Amino acid sequence: MKNAVIDEKKENKKEKFYMLSDRIVKKLFTTGSKASEDFLYLIISKAIKVPIENLKRDFKIMHPQIALNNKNINSEADLVFENDKIYISLEINYNDYKSLSKKNFSYVCCLYLRDLLPNSDYKNLKEVYSINIDGFDYFGQNKFIYESEMIEKDLLISRNLGVHYIDINLEYLKKLGYNNITDELEKSLYIFVCNNKNILYELYEEGSFMREFLKEAEKLSSDLDELLYYDKKKLDQEMVYNNGKEDGLEEGIEEGEKKKSLEIAKKMLSRGDNLDDIEEITGLTKEEILKLNS
CA angle 168-89-107, nearest 5°? Answer: 110
Describe the crossing of helices 22-29 and 209-228 by its angle, rounded to 10 degrees.
130
CA distance 90 to 40: 10
pLDDT at 189: 93
More confident: 8 or 171? 171
Q: Is the pLDDT assigned to residue 62 strictly greater than 70?
A: yes
Q: What Cα–Cα distance (Å) separates residue 281 from each residue in 11, 41, 267, 285?
A: 27, 29, 12, 11
pLDDT at 90: 93
pLDDT at 219: 80
Half-sphere exposure of 64 (CA within 13 A, CB side): 13
pLDDT tens sequence across 142-174: 999 999 999 999 999 999 999 999 999 999 998
Task: Mention every residue, 6+ apart, whose C-beta is less than 8 A from residue 287.
Answer: none
Question: What is 137-168 written as a DSSP string?
Answer: -SSSS--SEEEE--B-TTT--B---SEEEEEE
CB 132 within 8 Å of CB 104: yes
- Report the amino acid identity of residue 292: L
pLDDT at 149: 93
Q: So where are the chain's domains? A: 17-204, 230-293
pLDDT tens sequence across 172-231: 998 998 889 989 999 999 998 888 888 999 999 999 999 999 988 888 776 665 555 444
Q: If you compute the radius of gyration of the chain from its CA atoms, what whole number of angstroms results? A: 22
| Helix ranges restricted to H, the chain | 22-29, 34-48, 52-58, 100-113, 170-176, 184-189, 197-203, 209-228, 232-242, 249-271, 275-282, 286-293
pLDDT tens sequence across 231-282: 444 544 554 444 444 445 455 556 666 777 787 788 778 877 778 778 777 7
Within 10 Å of residue 254's Cβ, how many Cβ atoms? 13
Q: Is the pLDDT assigned to residue 288 strictly greater than 60?
A: yes
CA distance 80 to 74: 15
pLDDT at 1: 43
pLDDT at 263: 79
pLDDT tens sequence across 101-120: 988 998 999 898 888 877 66
pLDDT tens sequence across 120-130: 677 778 999 99
pLDDT at 7: 45
CB 224 within 8 Å of CB 264: no
More confident: 31 or 241? 31
Half-sphere exposure of 230 (CA within 13 A, CB side): 16
pLDDT at 188: 94
pLDDT at 255: 65
The residues that bridge with 82 in the sheet, in sequence order, are 60, 87
CB 40 within 8 Å of CB 220: no
Segment 38-51 mean pLDDT: 94
pLDDT tens sequence across 93-103: 878 888 889 88
